[in-house]
Amino acid sequence: MPKTVVLGVIGSDAHVVGITILEQAFSAAGFDVVNLGVQTSQEEFAEAAVAHDAEAVLVSSLYGHAEQDCRGFHDVLAAHGVDAVTYIGGNLAVGQDEFARTRETFEAMGFDRVFDSETDPTEAIAALERDLRIATVEPERATVRS
């Protein structure tokens, strides 16, 4: 059964190219992707996660206001009864903030993983496969030899 992920750009952010690439990459990797698009509210993420029984919620933010937009996000998810892995990625801080500090900030806010804007989608897919413990069977091992 494919695992469902909810994906969107939070807050008033309108940068759409990154999540379009992520949607294609996650779909090609075998996930069911619910793409909420840009300018998605915290409630919309939570409602979609419930409606689609999502195993992961992937938040994107590019315009530098991620910290404000994500304040209370995990409380909103919890209030809706969402039990899902949460990732955030993109350009999460204003200017040239040191990424290690940015990661700490968002982990403290409750995100399971934090990715910067240099992240290749395959890195996030590999992390999600590990976090959701998806078995990947190599084709030759799956072949039954007589």
Report CA-CA distances (Å) from 8 to 14, 113, 137, 141, 142: 10, 16, 30, 36, 35
52 is catalytic: no
- Least separation in angstroms between residue 37's CB and ligand B12 is 10
64 binds ligand B12, rule: CB under 6 A: yes
Active-site residue (options: 15, 52, 74, 80): 15
Residue for token pair 């240099």: 118
Binding range to ligand B12, per CB under 6 A, among 43-51, 55-63, 71-79, 137-145: 55-63
63 binds ligand B12, rule: CB under 6 A: yes
102 binds ligand B12, rule: CB under 6 A: no
Cα gap 16→49, rounded to integer Å: 20
Question: In this chain, which of 24, 68, 117, 122 binds ligand B12, going by CB under 6 A?
Answer: 117
Taking CB under 6 A as the criterion, which residues in 10-49 touch ligand B12?
12-18, 21-22
15 is catalytic: yes
Instruction: Give alpha helix (H) positions in the chain.
Output: 17-28, 42-51, 66-70, 73-79, 99-108, 121-131, 139-142
Question: In this chain, which of 58, 70, 77, 82 binds ligand B12, going by CB under 6 A?
Answer: 58
Nearer to ligand B12, 17 or 138 (CB): 17
Query: 3: phi > 0 → left, psi -120 to 50 → alpha, else beta; which?
Result: beta
Cα gap 96→39, rounded to integer Å: 24
Binding range to ligand B12, per CB under 6 A, among 45-53, 71-79, 100-108, 118-126: 118-126
Catalytic residues: 13, 15
